Amino acid sequence: MFRQALSIPNENLMCQFDGKIFWQVRGLTMGVSCSPDLANLYRCYFEERVNIYSHPNVPFYERFINDCIGLVYALDEKDTISFFSNTIKFDNCTIEWSASDSYMTFLDMTLFFDKDKILQWKLFRKPLNHFEQIPWISTHPLYVKKGTFVSELSRIATLSSTYASYADACREVADIYIARGYPPMLVVSWLRHNYLACWDNRLKDNKKVAADVLVLKSEYNIS
């Protein structure tokens, strides 16, 4: 019954493109809520089969759905790519590996070795980033706009290993919001009152306390 329940939303899927309907014959659809879990389970099966997480030549390896990153003891970049290509293989899936002995990007983060050969990390923005933050002219309540700004500060704090990298990213975020029409003094006020707290709390494990309450979903701008 469980297998049948998983098959129903993931088989015989249809999509529309250029006014035509197509039948998806391979893979999972991002719009199905269980797709990320199935993708993780699929990849995990092959990773555990080669015991990549305990491999003596791999001090670190992690994956976020279909993005993999790892540190490996190797002779050079070519040897690194050869190692991962021959060690980690997923059926019906091709992984494009890249390697560097100085820096590498992973999702929204750049990892690099500083002048003292210490591993650091900082925010990375893709070249085609459209900076689609909520514009000031939107009808979202002010607390939603402020909450989005503060959550962005928390995100970049986690993605920064040094305070200097975090400060540079904060200035960049402030400029982006001002460019989206936000009053400069308001952005400066939000930044001044929140940036230190976001930095201090960046690695805290804020476990939610379970409460015996009923939370009702609310909506705004329903028109």
Distance in angstroms (rounded) separating the CA atoms of residues 152 and 144: 12
pLDDT in tens, 21-79: 988 877 777 778 888 888 888 888 888 888 898 889 899 998 887 788 888 898 899 99
pLDDT band of 213, cuts 50, 70, 90? confident
pLDDT of 199 reads 92
Query: Is the distance from CB of 133 to CB of 176 less than 8 angstroms?
Result: yes
pLDDT of 220 reads 65
pLDDT of 192 reads 94
pLDDT in tens, 88-105: 888 888 888 999 888 898
**How would you classify residue 122: left for phi > 0, otherwise alpha for psi between -120 and 50, otherwise beta?**
beta
Full DSSP string of 78-145: HHHHHHHHHH--BTTB-------SSEEEETTEEEEE-TTS-EEEEE---TT----PPPTTS-S-HHHH
Structure tokens at 206: 């804020």
Is residue 170's pLDDT more than 60? yes
Average pLDDT over every residue of 174-200 = 93
Question: Of 89, 85, 127, 130, which is closest to residue 110 (Cα–Cα)?
Answer: 127
SS3 at position 33 = coil
Is residue 217's pLDDT more than 80? no
Mean of pLDDT over the chain: 86
The domains of the chain are located at 35-101, 126-223
Question: Of 83, 128, 119, 125, which is closest to residue 101 (Cα–Cα)?
Answer: 119
Distance in angstroms (rounded) separating the CA atoms of residues 97 and 87: 12
pLDDT band of 221, cuts 50, 70, 90? low
Instruction: Pick 180 or 205 by higher pLDDT.
Output: 180
pLDDT of 165 reads 93
pLDDT of 134 reads 86
pLDDT in tens, 134-168: 899 998 999 999 999 999 999 999 999 999 999 99
Average pLDDT over every residue of 185-191 = 94
